[in-house]
Amino acid sequence: MKIPTLAFSMLMAATMATAEVKIALDTPPDMATSGSYNWVAAFDEVLTANGMTVRQMPRGSIGNEDEIFDQISTGLLEVSVSDVRAVARIDNPLYGLRLPYIFEDAAHMDRVLEAGDIFAQANTNLAPHDVVLLSIVPIGPASGFITTNATIRAPADMSNLRMRALDDAQLAMYAAWGSSGTIVSWGEIMTALQTGVVDGYLNSPFVPISFGQTDVVRNFSDAGVIIPIRAALASRSWYESLSDDERAVLDEAVTAADRANRAWLEEASNTVLSELEELGVSVQRLTAEERALFREGAQSVYESSVMSTEDTERWMALAEETR
């Protein structure tokens, strides 16, 4: 007997509602300043519309990056928006996403991801760890130098600065520009800026707005070094427990989330520098010639990359083919 469409939809919704989907957030839930939250909000909307119960877990409420990854891997958490390094430590070629100046913009990055079949390779390598890479999520416009006092228009301006670094790869990048760095966790960054432990850091121009740092941060140099990104991850055990219909809903949610994130990014890229200025932050809008100095200085990072030479060359070739 054919089930009427309305009845079938109600039945499907009731089935999906039995499973709660917990999503670990990486930023405050602010649609105006967070690209990753725009992704989560659209993802949540599709799941909820199809009968799934979604619970957003505030940043820091269920642990740090490593603890969140462990919860994804063990199935205690369904979805997270995580540091790309969490998956790049397993799928080493993903470090290519952090090569300076490899992408013109997020659209170029998306073309490279598709042309290189990057998700399939990553998920093959992540499978033994019970993690699925759903998406690469830009958190905002291209990264620049965010500093307390110094204005940066050339690598020479960084010679006396100590910058906050994420890891050894970023330390090498600062060294290539004649600067120095020190590894500081994000939870300690505000204190490090206030006490002078670091003079600044590299990130999207929206980050000091989103995290309330504009009373301390006084400069942003629009160097356009890297597309700042996060990795949307899912528990493989949860993913594989879904029915075919539920997986179709999940795929729809990822597509909608990617679309919402990129639409927000396009609009935000046109307004964020003015927003910083309205909050009292001085913006150094670099010319193409000024950016070229940073690009040239960063070339040594390609040679000392945490990836193999073969993987670095593959990323460079894909970037050129899709430019």
Tens of pLDDT, residues 277-292: 999 999 999 999 999 9
- Residue closest to 82 by CA, chosen among 135, 146, 41: 135
Q: How many domains does the chain have?
A: 2
234: which 2 tokens? Answer: 């899912």
Q: State whether 119 and 203 are in the same domain.
A: no
- The answer to whether residue 299 scores a pLDDT higher than 60 is yes
Q: State whether 44 and 176 are in the same domain.
A: no
- The answer to whether residue 100 scores a pLDDT higher than 70 is yes
**Pairing label, strands 219-221, 229-235:** unpaired
Q: State whether 194 and 234 are in the same domain.
A: no
Buried b (16+ CB within 10 A) or exposed e, 1-35: eeeeeeeeeeebeeebeeeebbbbbbbeeeeebbb
Q: With cut-offs at 50, 70 and 90, classify the pLDDT of residue 306.
A: confident
266: which 2 tokens? Answer: 């396009």
- The answer to whether residue 181 scores a pLDDT higher than 60 is yes
Whether 31 and 41 have beta carbons less than 8 Å apart is answered as: yes
* pLDDT (tens digit per residue) in 50-64: 999 999 999 999 999
* pLDDT (tens digit per residue) in 121-173: 999 999 999 999 999 999 999 999 999 999 999 999 999 999 999 888 889 89
Q: With cut-offs at 50, 70 and 90, classify the pLDDT of residue 305.
A: low
Whether 231 and 133 have beta carbons less than 8 Å apart is answered as: yes
DSSP secondary-structure letter at 131? Answer: E
* pLDDT (tens digit per residue) in 201-225: 999 999 999 899 999 999 999 999 9
Arithmetic mean of pLDDT over the chain: 91
- Residue-level pLDDT at 15: 42
Q: State whether 120 and 11 are in the same domain.
A: yes
Sequential DSSP letters for 15-67: HHTTSEEEEE-SS-S-TTT-HHHHHHHHHHHHHHHTT-EEEEEPTTTT--HHH
CATH number at residue 293: 3.40.190.170
Q: pTM of the prediction?
A: 0.89
Q: With cut-offs at 50, 70 and 90, classify the pLDDT of residue 16.
A: very low
Q: State whether 156 and 64 are in the same domain.
A: no
- The answer to whether residue 18 scores a pLDDT higher than 60 is no
Q: State whether 213 and 151 are in the same domain.
A: yes
Angle between helices 244-268 and 35-49 (to 10 degrees): 150
- Residue-level pLDDT at 155: 96
| pLDDT cut 70: percent of the chain above it | 93
Q: Residues 75-103: what's their mean pLDDT?
A: 94
Q: State whether 30 and 66 are in the same domain.
A: yes
Q: What angle do CA 145, 24, 36 make, to 5 degrees?
A: 40
Q: With cut-offs at 50, 70 and 90, classify the pLDDT of residue 302.
A: confident
Q: With cut-offs at 50, 70 and 90, classify the pLDDT of residue 116.
A: very high
301: which 2 tokens? Answer: 């990072």
d(CA 193, CA 258): 33
- Residue-level pLDDT at 307: 81
- Residue closest to 207 by CA, chosen among 189, 192, 225: 189
Whether 45 and 8 have beta carbons less than 8 Å apart is answered as: no
- Residue-level pLDDT at 304: 65
Q: State whether 157 and 252 are in the same domain.
A: no
Q: State whether 121 and 157 are in the same domain.
A: no
CA dihedral 74, 247, 252, 49 (to 10 degrees): -90
Q: State whether 169 and 254 are in the same domain.
A: no
Q: State whether 72 and 188 are in the same domain.
A: no
Domain with 313, as residue range(s), is 144-226+273-321
Q: State whether 20 and 87 are in the same domain.
A: yes
